[in-house]
Structure formats: structure tokens, C-alpha cells
Structure 1
């Protein structure tokens, strides 16, 4: 994977999305609408995964999309969701990792 742009922290991602959304009078969608959008984007990722790894190849008439593009869409919508609720994504990630690192620390077979 070649990166031709800066690497962003979660704080920078949240600010960049907020700067973008703040240009518009409509602002952030409601939490319910954002949840629907996140579900929609997740479905689009699932479709791409199925095309590449599943039994349903893409039709020749379908637009070429990448999983990277779909993951980016999910990150954007997830960031909108977090921003609209004043949730710090870095803190949310920390809470999730702490949970996994304690609850699941003996759940999987460790590599030698």
C-alpha cells in the first residue's frame, strides 16, 4: 500500500470531517440517519468482499470499487457519527482495546 498523503491521527480526522461538514447549513445528520448511512456503507463493503472473496462475482456493468474506498466511506460516516455526539474516537478506541485486552486476553491461542 502506497501512501501519497499525510497520515492522520484520529483527532485530525475528526477535525477534517468537522471542517468539511461545518461548511453546510444542514450540518450533521441525526444519529438515526447516521446509523442508517453507516449500515448502508457497511453493506457496500460487504458487497465488495463478496465480489472478491465470495461466490458472487461482479457484473461487467458494475462500477469498479475497492474495499479501501468502502472502508474510507465507513470511516467518514463513523467520524460524522462520533462528531455529532461529541465522542472522541481516540478515547472510544482506547475503551474498546482495554476491553478486548482484558476480557479476551486468554481467549485465543498465542503465537510463540
Structure 2
């Protein structure tokens, strides 16, 4: 399916990275999430982390309640680096450097 310009899309890889970061930051393991969501195996959680799939709306809602964040804070769009922004946000110079690396300003 063709993507339309201006239509907001989700980035599965960035969303997976963000979800993994928020879960680990909160001190939960994959097994904890599996048990909390009544999943029969941990594979769906690993697929989310790898950016191969997204949680269902029900699972997103449950995770948002568990982690104390809004559902939208567990998802990322293209060109967003929410994990970098949160980790390096206080250190503006590092965040700026990472952004410049990302867009190729330091290419020789």
C-alpha cells in the first residue's frame, strides 16, 4: 500500500525501541509483561521490541495504565527519536550532536 504525504504513520522500529525503553525504565521484565497481559508466551513482547509488530489497542491501553503514561507515549512516528530525546534531553549538547549525526552533518 502506498503511503500518502502528510498522513501520520507509525514507525514500528522507533515504537519498539520506545516501548522497550519505557518497560525497562519502569523495572518490568518481559516475563512481567507477559504475565500482566495474560500472554501464553513472551514472543509478542519480543516482536514489539524488535519493531516487527505493534501491540493491540487493548494491550497498549493496559501497558499505558501499568506504566503510568498515555498510550501515545508508547508510539513513535517516523523521524522521531523519543528514546534519544528522553535520555539526552537534559544534555542538549549530546542531543544536538546525535541529531546532527542522524541527518549527516558530520559526513566528510
TM-score exceeds 0.5? no
